[in-house]
Amino acid sequence: MAIGGGAGDHRGGAGGRDRLALAALAAAVAAGDGGQWDCGGGNWYLGSLGVAGDPAPPLLWVWITAAGLATGVVVLGWRGARWWRRGAAVLAVPLCVLRVVLAVNVWVGYLPTVDTAWNQLTAGPLPDQTDRAAVTRRQLADARLANGVVLPVSIPADASKFAHRRELVYLPPAWFASSPPPRLPTVMMIGADFNTPADWLRTGHAIHTIDDFASTHHGYAPLLVFVDATRAFDNDTECVNGPRGNAAGHLTKDVVPYMISNFSVSADPANWGIVGFSMGGTCAVDLTVMHPDIFSAFVDIAGDAGPNTGTRSHTIATLFGGNANAYAAFDPTTAIIRHRRYGGVYGWFDIPGASHAQHRYITAAGIGAVALGAHDPVANPEGQDFAANSLCTVGSAHGIRCAVVTQPGRHDWPFAAQAFADALPWLAGRLGTPGVPRVPLPGLKPELVSPTPKASATPAAHTPEGTPLPDNQRTQQSTFQFSR
């Protein structure tokens, strides 16, 4: 979009040529070095935040470059341009930026509908949202509700000092059926690294999933607490304690006691679970294996093998202030091996990919196992399938009963929503929700398909205390993983 002169410019030849040269320079800067800066700078920024997921689509970088080009033309070609050309150039900038935003949204599936986008932009009410006074009135009235309610809560951070945002609690209809309410199980819901506590509700459709579940179980369902594990939209903590905040301390020492004391939920670890997507999936595994005295079941949806903001050195520097021992303490594989033997801990790993690539084996331990076929780099660009297989193998060898479930999709919120819906009947039954039968994890029955090489499920049994495991042992693809 040229702003400078040409034959019709009133200032004539030299001025027109000058402006054309400026416009050409802007185009060269934006499409060449400037475009590379946009792409490189964007990649650097995303990398610095530890964003996990699919590689950015080419169209995103095309529109970023176009936005840079439009901005350069406005700045360099403004003087002497006619009013309508100035207006067109100014209009092009926000349009290009809008296309960038839309490309990002297509990439991550963050805002699936216009209504969701509007509610997020305007901080509109959440589905089934109410306030504490209304909850108390309904509870005293012994109300029978058709749906549950979502209650915003301000959880004190006395133990962790973690300056978090407002969090949310889902109360199922059965919670209102008696006073005091029944001691129902609780599920902690954790989102991705770019997140708000409401993401599972707005984008992950968790409210519709849990309401539908409760409606088919006489109003019974677990309570859900939608936590803030990052305290800001772009502060990836990976749910650890470190320079970015004591996220783990908040989730275990602030949230859990608050739920027990304010909503009369069960304090038994057998009635507590965690569901997480992406970063949240990593958190779900990590918090459960580190705190089996608090949690007994997890659903890891496309999480990593451990806390991750890039390379190991970058992760140790950004999340742990350079403390490798602190990193080791939060590495789930290391934590599992140090714990030696678990009892009563269960896990559901859900990863995108081709479901027909599954094969069943009888392993050396005699437990049925589901092994993935070839690695799917499109659905799991950062090796989430490797991570799930490796963690479930090591966990199973130490008493954690787990399965890896593969279904079509990619690393985005629509996949997370479907994975949560699929895992909920198992999780609700496992946590002891009244009236909900316990169903086995997928792949319980052993079935011999073909022999599998004998593999060690404890790749670092002799790793010294405080030493993180080598990368090739933490994230290797296992030939099998156990399920129960």
Q: Which two tokens stand for residue 39?
A: 């792409």
Tell me, what's the pLDDT at 113?
Answer: 58
What gap in Å lies between CA 289 and CA 310, rounded to an integer?
22
Give the chain's mean pLDDT: 76
Tell me, what's the pLDDT at 41?
Answer: 52
Q: Summarize the confidence of residues 139-144 as an average pLDDT.
A: 76
Q: Which two tokens stand for residue 93?
A: 């900038």
Closest CA to 150 of 172, 178, 125, 169: 169
Placement of tokens 């999709």 in the chain: 409
pLDDT at 457 over 50: no
Q: What are phi and psi of 168, to 5 degrees?
A: -135, 145
- CA atoms within 13 A of residue 361's CA, in its CB half-sphere: 21
pLDDT at 4 over 60: no
Strands 245-246 and 241-242: antiparallel
What gap in Å lies between CA 200 and CA 190, rounded to an integer?
8
DSSP state of 378: T
Q: Lowest-pLDDT range, 116-125, 174-183, 443-452?
A: 443-452
Closest CA to 372 of 384, 364, 381: 384
pLDDT at 49 over 90: no
25-36: pLDDT as tens digits: 333 333 333 444
pLDDT at 224 over 50: yes
Q: Summarize the confidence of residues 422-437 as an average pLDDT.
A: 96
Q: Lowest-pLDDT range, 31-45, 108-122, 321-335?
A: 31-45
Q: CB atoms < 10 A from the CB of 84, how many?
A: 8
Enumerate the β-bridge partners of residue 242.
245
For residue 180, say if its preceding peptide bond is cis, omega within 30 degrees of 0.
Answer: yes
Tell me, what's the pLDDT at 203?
Answer: 86
Highest mean pLDDT among 7-16, 126-135, 327-336: 327-336
For the chain, percent of residues with pLDDT exceeding 70: 67
Rg of the chain taking only CA atoms, in angstroms: 26
- 246 three-class SS: strand
Query: Which of the four pLDDT bands, split at 50, 70 and 90, describes residue 333?
Result: very high
What gap in Å lies between CA 383 and CA 371, rounded to an integer?
15
Query: Which of the four pLDDT bands, split at 50, 70 and 90, describes residue 193?
Result: confident
Q: CB atoms < 10 A from the CB of 360, how many?
A: 17
259-308: pLDDT as tens digits: 999 999 999 999 999 999 999 999 999 999 999 999 999 999 999 999 99
Please give the C-alpha separations between residue 62 and each of 31, 352, 411, 412, in angstroms, as whole numbers: 9, 27, 22, 21
